[in-house]
Structure 1
Amino acid sequence: MDRNEVVLVGRLPEAVRIRSLQSGSTLGSWRVIVRRQQRGRGTRVDTIPCVSFEPEVTVVVAEWLPDDMVEVVGSLRRRWWGSEGSKSSGYEVEVRSARRLERRITTVLTGEEEPPAPIPAPPRPVRSLTHAETGPVETGTVVAEERRALTAVEPEPSHAAEANTPASVLRRVEMPSLR
């Protein structure tokens, strides 16, 4: 007795493509990345193409996002395409049922929204101390006693050049002395 049944559980690397065919039906196509059992060093994966002509399946998979963990059940099919002189073929899983197992939080940029703000660089340590200053320090309306403050000169972070600020601009940092 012959049996052609494929069950895959893996990660979706990209968005599902849904196309309308001339017949009026829809075709969903996507890939599933499946890890192999580990032998030796490193993890090996297979990227397996999947398709479905089933309307119920295409509705379900249209909601999937990249990095979702999914399960598909279907049959292995060999497809042929091209002209008579240059025929090509490939294998894919023709899916008859599908479900999402886990949604991972991802950000998909469509080009219509602005990209997320970059993560600011952590503060860099003071590179050099130049000289000490003295004088009254005003805090709101209260004038504090004379304090000694050390003045440090630190070059701007490298990302300042990206904000149209010359990298040679120096920033002055004052630190109160401990008495």
Structure 2
Amino acid sequence: MATATVAEDRGPEPLNAVQLRGRISAVPQTRELPSGDLVVTFRVAVPRPRRRGGGSRAVVDAIDIACWTARTRGYAVRLAVGDAVEVEGALRRRFFASGDGRVSRYEVEASTLRRPRPVRRG
């Protein structure tokens, strides 16, 4: 009689991985949190694929990015509006206090930032 492993019984392993390629649409901002932690945040505009017969207007998604490590913060502060960037990371839901009480927002926590490599056409 064959026995199943625990991993087989639970199905595939959970995955939280995000990969984006777009352009910086807001100047990166450095903030110090009440805890003393530093975070650099910025927004990346990522074009959506055009749908057939969808008109001539481009549609983009504006994705909030948070950089918590010294390496990603250092890279992010050198970015300017309009720069192309590739972001790898994980989707996070962050909770914080505001004038309206506790609120939350989704953002991508960047683990890697880099300039996209040019596409070679041959």
Find the aligned partners of 1:26 and 1:100 in 2 and give their Cα distance: 23
Of 37, 61, 82, 1:67 maps to 82
Please point out which of 52, 55, 66 is paired with 2:70. Answer: 55
Letter in 1 for 2:113: A
Aligned length: 101
Quote the Cα distance in structure 2 between the aligned partners of 1:20 and 1:82.
Answer: 15
**Deviation of the 1:2 alpha carbon:** 0.7
| TM-score, normalised by the number of residues in structure 2 | 0.74
Q: CA deviation at 1:87?
A: 2.3
Partner Cα separation in structure 2 for residue 82 and residue 21 of structure 1: 12
Does residue 4 of structure 1 match 2:26?
no
Conservation of the 8 A alpha-carbon contact between 2:45 and 2:62: yes
Match of 1:77 among 92, 109, 120: 92
Q: Which 5+ residue runs of structure 2 have no aligned equivalent? A: 1-12, 118-122
* Alignment RMSD (CA, Å): 1.9
Q: Give structure 1 stretches of 5+ with no counterpart.
A: 103-179
Greater length-normalized contact order (CA 8 Å, ≥ 6 residues apart): 2
Instruction: Answer yes or no: is the 8 Å Cα contact 2:67–2:76 preserved in 1.
Output: no
TM-score by length of 1: 0.52
Aligned to 2:4: none
1:157-179, CA deviations, whole angstroms, 9 ceiling, x for partnerless residues?
Answer: xxxxxxxxxxxxxxxxxxxxxxx
Q: Check whether the contact 1:7–1:73 (CA below 8 A) recurs between aligned residues.
A: yes
From 8, 30, 47, give the equivalent of 1:18.
30
> Over alpha carbons, which structure has the higher Rg?
1
Could you tell me which residue of structure 1 aligns to residue 42 of structure 2? 30
**SS in structure 1 opposite 2:113?**
strand
Shift of 1:80: 1.5
Give me the whole-angstrom Cα distance separating, in 2, the residues matched to 1:56 and 1:36.
29
